[in-house]
């Protein structure tokens, strides 16, 4: 293998830049030519491709977002669009591709695999909903961002004795809401993976009020309902002052945490090693602080396990 390319696709995640840097530098230092494809699969079909040098990825390890830009490309599901991508990769003599993103990105890579292109995937999404890997790039940074936001909201919630309902991203996954709920000391967390009981939530708030605690933080994962809907349901049951806060894309931006930079650097390095050793159709993953790899088929056929027993801990610790 002489020439590979790298792209970032889907929702961006803090640490993607560290992964791109790692792929580019690991490739060049091992004698490969490496190309950067801008705007994910959309950029690929448009031929938005340029050769990368060591210095093209200088000064980006600490930056959020992705310097290669990202895009969602629903049309990539079409066979005819995939054929355009394959043709362009062949024109550039690109023999291997590293894709960085979430499950939609892996589906695109699977399609390229079926057309004979060698690909390796790196999991990157703040949702952390990719099976097998304990962590995806961006999750730890987003978790820290959410916890910091909740800390700030708690200050004002305490001052005004209010209940706050905070909406957390995650699409269909409650991972980000669950971990940030535990880490921020939220009173209640609503996630799609566990049925919620409004009765329990309201009686907890009432119990708190009886012992003189007049503020509460409720985290609701966007996959359950919106903060607004949650607030309406709550106010039917309780006569209390509530405010809502939708954290939104603040969760996606900002400097990557140390953990994400290190994970991204390790994943990028491993992805290049795998391509050089003729692997293809594999996702790199983290387990017990070890990096390994697994086929896309396995990843896409499994469901991410979420430790819902953490809900019990949240309930026990927040009185």
Task: List residues with catalytic annotation.
Answer: 127
User: Is 250 annotated as ligand-binding?
Assistant: yes
Cβ 176 vs Cβ 127: under 8 Å: yes
User: Is 25 annotated as ligand-binding?
Assistant: yes
Does 11 bind ligand F6P (CB under 6 A)? Our answer is: yes
Please, what's the b/e burial string for 9-20 (b: 16 or more CB within 10 A of its CB; e: otherwise)? Answer: bbbbbbbbbbbb
- In angstroms, give the least distance from the CB of 171 to ligand F6P: 4
User: Is 307 annotated as ligand-binding?
Assistant: no
- In angstroms, give the least distance from the CB of 296 to ligand F6P: 18
Supply the angle between the helices 16-28 and 258-276 in degrees, to the nearest 10: 40
Does 16 bind ligand F6P (CB under 6 A)? Our answer is: no
Instruction: Rule CB under 6 A: choose which of 15, 96, 108, 170 binds ligand F6P.
Output: 170
Q: Closer to ligand F6P at the Cβ: 17 or 216?
A: 17
Does 127 bind ligand F6P (CB under 6 A)? Our answer is: yes
Does 169 bind ligand F6P (CB under 6 A)? Our answer is: yes
Cβ 266 vs Cβ 291: under 8 Å: yes
Q: Identify which range of 20-28, 46-54, 81-89, 124-132 contacts ligand F6P by CB under 6 A.
A: 124-132
Instruction: Rule CB under 6 A: choose which of 63, 162, 171, 243 binds ligand F6P.
Output: 171
Does 15 bind ligand F6P (CB under 6 A)? Our answer is: no
Q: Which whole-number Å values give the CA distances from 268 to 19, 70, 79, 97, 256, in the listed order?
A: 5, 17, 28, 12, 15
Degrees (nearest 5) of the Cα angle 62, 186, 101? 35
Cβ 174 vs Cβ 163: under 8 Å: no
Q: Closer to ligand F6P at the Cβ: 125 or 188?
A: 125
Checking phi first, is residue 301 left (phi over 0); if not, alpha (psi -120 to 50) or beta? alpha
User: Is 111 annotated as ligand-binding?
Assistant: no
Does 130 bind ligand F6P (CB under 6 A)? Our answer is: no
Q: Closer to ligand F6P at the Cβ: 89 or 306?
A: 306
Per-position x/- string for 35-74, each x denoting binding to ligand F6P as judged by CB under 6 A, each - no binding: ----------------------------------------
Does 126 bind ligand F6P (CB under 6 A)? Our answer is: yes
User: Is 40 annotated as ligand-binding?
Assistant: no
Checking phi first, is residue 146 left (phi over 0); if not, alpha (psi -120 to 50) or beta? alpha
User: Is 185 annotated as ligand-binding?
Assistant: yes
- In angstroms, give the least distance from the CB of 41 to ligand F6P: 15
Of 215, 200, 212, nearest to 165 by C-alpha is 215
Q: Closer to ligand F6P at the Cβ: 4 or 126?
A: 126
Interface ranges with ligand F6P (CB under 6 A): 11, 102, 125-127, 169-171, 222, 252
């Amino acid at each position: 293998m002489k020439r590979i390319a790298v792209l970032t696709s889907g929702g961006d995640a803090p640490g993607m830049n560290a992964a791109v840097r790692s792929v580019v530098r690991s490739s060049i230092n091992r004698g490969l030519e490496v190309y950067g494809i801008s705007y994910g699969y959309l950029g690929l079909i448009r031929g938005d491709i340029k050769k990368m040098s060591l210095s093209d990825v200088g000064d980006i390890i600490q930056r959020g977002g992705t310097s290669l830009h990202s895009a969602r490309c629903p049309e990539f599901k079409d066979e005819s669009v995939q054929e355009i991508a394959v043709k362009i990769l062949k024109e550039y003599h690109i023999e291997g591709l590293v894709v960085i993103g979430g499950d939609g990105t892996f589906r695109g890579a699977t399609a390229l695999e079926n057309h004979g292109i060698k690909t390796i995937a790196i999991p990157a999404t703040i949702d952390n909903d990719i099976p097998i890997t304990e962590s995806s790039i961006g999750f730890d940074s987003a978790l820290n961002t959410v916890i910091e936001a909740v800390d700030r909201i708690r200050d004002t919630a305490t001052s005004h004795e209010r209940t706050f309902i905070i909406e957390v991203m995650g699409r269909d996954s409650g991972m980000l809401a669950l971990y940030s709920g535990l880490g921020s000391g939220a009173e209640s967390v609503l996630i799609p993976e566990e049925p919620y009981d409004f009765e329990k939530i309201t009686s907890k708030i009432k119990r708190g009020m009886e012992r003189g605690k007049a503020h509460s933080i409720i985290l609701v994962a966007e996959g359950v309902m919106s903060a607004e809907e949650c607030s309406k349901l709550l106010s039917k049951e309780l006569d209390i002052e509530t405010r809502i806060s939708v954290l939104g894309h603040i969760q996606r931006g900002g400097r990557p945490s140390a953990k994400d930079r290190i994970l991204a650097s390790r994943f990028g390095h491993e992805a290049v090693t795998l391509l050089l050793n003729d692997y293809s159709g594999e996702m790199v993953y983290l387990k017990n602080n070890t990096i390994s790899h697994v086929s896309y088929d396995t990843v896409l056929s499994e469901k991410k396990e979420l430790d819902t027993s953490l809900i019990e801990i949240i309930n026990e610790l927040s009185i």
